[in-house]
Amino acid sequence: MSNLLPVLDVSSSATAVAEPCCTPLTRAPLAVEDAERAAGMFKALGDPVRLRLFSNVASADGGETCVCDIQDVGVSQPTVSHHLKKLREAGLLESERRGTWVYYRVAPGVLAVMAALLTPDA
Amino acid sequence: MSNLLPVLDVSSSATAVAEPCCTPLTRAPLAVEDAERAAGMFKALGDPVRLRLFSNVASADGGETCVCDIQDVGVSQPTVSHHLKKLREAGLLESERRGTWVYYRVAPGVLAVMAALLTPDA
DNA sequence: GGTTTGATTCGACGGCTGTCGATGTCCTGA
DNA sequence: TCAGGACATCGACAGCCGTCGAATCAAACC
């Protein structure tokens, strides 16, 4: 239940190599293990409510936002929390408590990784 | 049950406008309707088997491949067929029967649409 | 300390989904 | 016409998932 989705070398924030993290889907058949990880990320975005929550965070000024500012997505507040947890577990979001409120931001590198995976051939 | 996921203006193969089809997730909060469509696509890629099938098609020489050449993904033949149907319904794949075999290819524009959605800010 | 507000966790429930074997359909070749 | 291969559909079943209200936790404010 821990250490889900290392998201390939997104963890290489230290070495900071500019090399593309992962082979595009279109380049070669995805290995079983890579498919497992990548599918986890896509799955996390595969729910309309979750996708809107993610978009709300991703488009927030300053790169982060309070839960209280994005929870108007048509479901109950516990459900919002549940979805945010899923996004966190998938490695797409990070959260931090500051005083009364909890702030969410997009995990660094995640967008680039997913975009790279979907890079068309041409 | 029909006309699922028009995938925004991917259907504009006639006009062929080079304009970006959709606003990135990071640009502004996704509208409810857009989230519904986009989530459908991500959801389709949210299964490891389906993602591998998609990758197999996307990375095939000539841009298309026979089902018989990609069905070795560890599940039964009916299950492969089921997943390919899901990918078709999500607008990600197209299929065509030629004689005995059925060929699949990535629906035009789909990769660009999804990659654009995930375009990072920076 | 007690109360209020913000957020997560818990337990439950209905519906969806991935999987399979069996069957059906379409095409080819003998 | 019939046999056989390629692929899709059907029916069933177990497990997962999204949702909710209730309960809990955490911080702040009186």
| pLDDT tens-place string over residues B30-75 | 999 999 999 999 999 999 999 999 999 999 999 999 999 999 999 9
Chain A residues with CB inside 8 Å of B43's CB? 42-43, 45-47
CB–CB of B31/B39 below 8 Å? no
**Chain B CB within 8 Å of residue A82 CB:** no
How many Cβ atoms sit within 10 Å of the Cβ of residue A34? Answer: 19
How many Cβ atoms sit within 10 Å of the Cβ of residue B120? Answer: 17
Distance A50 CA to D9 C1' (A): 32
Q: Give the phi and the psi of residue B107 in degrees, each rounded to 5.
A: -60, 135
- What was the ipTM of the complex prediction? 0.87
Among residues A62, A37, A58, which one has the least CA distance to residue A113?
A37
Chain A residues with CB inside 8 Å of B54's CB? 25
Distance B96 CA to C27 C1' (A): 14
* Across A100-118, average pLDDT: 96
pLDDT band for A73, please (50, 70, 90 cuts): very high
pLDDT band for B3, please (50, 70, 90 cuts): very low
For domain A8-17+30-117, give the CATH number: 1.10.10.10
CB–CB of B104/B64 below 8 Å? yes
Domain ranges (residues) in chain B: 30-117
Instruction: Classify domain B30-117 at the CATH class level.
Output: mainly alpha
In sequence order, what are the beta bridge partners of B93?
B106
**Chain B CB within 8 Å of residue A32 CB:** yes
**Chain A CB within 8 Å of residue B8 CB:** no
C1' of nucleotide C27: residue with nearest CA: B100
Place of tokens 């590198």: A109
The CA–CA distances, whole Å, from A23 to A16, A67, A73, A104, B59 equal 18, 34, 34, 28, 11
Quick check: A53 CB within 7 A of strand D? no
* pLDDT value for B16: 38
Task: State the Cα torsion B11-B40-A25-B75 to the nearest 10°.
Answer: -120
Place of tokens 């993610």: A54
Distance A19 CA to C15 C1' (A): 44
Quick check: B66 CB within 7 A of strand D? yes
| pLDDT tens-place string over residues B84-94 | 999 999 999 99
Among residues B122, B86, B118, B74, which one has the least CA distance to residue A41?
B118
Nucleotide nearest to B75 (CA to C1'): C19
The residues near A93 (Cβ < 8 Å, ≥ 6 apart) are A54, A57, A84, A87, A104, A105, A106, A107
